[in-house]
Amino acid sequence: MGYNIDNWKTIVLEDLKLDYDKTLATLKRLNCFDVITHHENDGINIGLGERDGIQGHLIDDDNKKTWLVVDTVDISGTASNRDFHVFQNLVRYSSGKYVALLIWEGGDSLSCFYTNGGTCNETSLDELIVDWVKKSFPYILEQ
């Protein structure tokens, strides 16, 4: 996609945790290190896109590894195309499940982004929707 995301709708958010050390390293590698804001009680915001970006809080596990537990994600608006690619890099070092519906600029295209345990993918929904309409409303096509 060569343009921005107008609407980002989280569908599934199940125990999504980002490896915090690898998150910092990835943001630095991608020249996005300045997007992190720390809040009280270990709250973190990674300011991607024009809206909320990634919001969560830090925890340490039994092995003294620090994780960013993701509470919300909304990477839409200005610069969201670039920042979506940053998010794809961050979730490669994650655990848990996440699924979002993305409506691209002007509603020209829909896609589904998902990650499960560090594996991520984006799938266009355009063809699936066309097939669904054809199967669900055959009488429209007959007119």
**Contact between residue 90 and residue 10 where contact means Cβ atoms under 8 Å apart:** no
Q: What CA–CA distance (Å, rounded) separates 35 from 9?
A: 22
The DSSP secondary structure of 69-114, one letter per residue, reads: EEEEEE--STTHHHHHHHHHHHGGGEEEEEEEEEEEGGG--EEEEE
**Contact between residue 110 and residue 104 where contact means Cβ atoms under 8 Å apart:** yes
pLDDT, tens only, 110-135: 999 999 999 999 998 887 888 888 88
pLDDT, tens only, 48-89: 888 889 999 999 988 889 999 999 999 999 889 999 999 999
- Is the pLDDT at 45 greater than 50, yes or no? yes
HSE at residue 133, side-chain half, CA atoms within 13 A, is 9
Lowest mean pLDDT among 18-22, 94-98, 120-124, 136-140: 136-140
Strands (E), 20-65: 36-38, 43-46, 53-60
Q: For the CA atoms of the chain, what is the radius of gyration?
A: 17
Give residue limits of the domains in the chain: 5-142
| Higher pLDDT pick, 143 / 80 | 80
- Is the pLDDT at 143 greater than 80, yes or no? no
- Is the pLDDT at 141 greater than 80, yes or no? no
pLDDT, tens only, 11-32: 999 999 999 999 999 999 998 8
